[in-house]
Amino acid sequence: MEFVIIGSGSGALQAHRGPSGYVLNLKDETFLLDGGTGTVKKCLEADISYKEIDKIFYTHLHPDHTIDLVPFLFATKHTPDFIRTKPLEIYGPVGFRDFYEKFTSLYGTGITDVDYDITVRELDDIRKTFDNWSLETGLMRHAHNAIGYRFESEGKALVYSGDTDYCEGIVRLAQNADVLILECSFPDDMKVGGHLTPSEAGRIATEANV
């Protein structure tokens, strides 16, 4: 299991730091976790091609986590001498399918008329086992039915919260994880609902035994 930080910033754009975007490499598959502004380009800078992505997992619908879905689909379709044939699975919270259909409809067949299968799946609070890995999700305290993800493979567990406030959902999901990726948008003296402070992130890690 390999985890690559592509962007760890927020919706307040910075020249040196992009919004949320991460790549998780398992034994036989490559996953993209969220994809804010510039994620596809920054993946290429990290020597990770959008051509390699097998599945995309979105935590919620805010643009600093989803906006690069269109550049991803557009580049996948229009790159010369590249025809994607392997299917693409896109996961998101309840409501994501409607978001996907409306978002992609703005561009019509320019991004959706493709030679491979795209499957969009909505998740809420589930656990699912695949061939070489398992997925567990939990409801977070943010917006748009936000969810966090727990990936387990080869005896290791990685948990990604996406945006969230302190909640039992992330404490439960993160129990005894080997790696926990939490958002932390504001310092302790600037608490904003729906987001974590450093103290709250530390509390979650302690309670989850991470």
* Cβ atoms 34, 63 nearer than 8 A: no
Strand order in the sheet with 55-57: 2-7, 21-25, 30-35, 55-57, 88-93, 118-123
123 forms beta bridges with 93
| C-alpha to C-alpha distance for 132 and 71, rounded to whole angstroms | 29
The confidence score (pLDDT) of residue 112 equals 84
pLDDT tens, residue order, the chain (210 aa): 999 999 988 777 777 888 999 999 998 899 999 999 999 999 999 999 999 999 999 999 999 999 999 999 999 999 888 889 999 999 999 999 999 999 999 998 888 889 899 999 999 989 999 989 999 999 999 998 999 999 999 999 999 999 999 999 999 999 999 999 999 988 999 998 889 999 999 999 999 999
Q: Record the pTM.
A: 0.95
The confidence score (pLDDT) of residue 29 equals 96
Query: What is the pairing mode between strands 88-93 and 55-57?
Result: parallel
| C-alpha to C-alpha distance for 175 and 14, rounded to whole angstroms | 33
* Residue 113 designated active-site: no
Tokens of 176: 């005894």
The confidence score (pLDDT) of residue 68 equals 97
The confidence score (pLDDT) of residue 200 equals 97
Q: For 127, what's the count of Cα atoms within 13 Å in the CB-facing half-sphere? A: 3
Strand order in the sheet with 156-160: 127-129, 134-139, 147-153, 156-160, 179-181
CATH number given to 2-207:
3.60.15.10
Q: Residues 28, 34, 54, 64: which is the catalytic one?
A: 64
The ranges assigned to domains in the chain are 2-207
The confidence score (pLDDT) of residue 115 equals 87
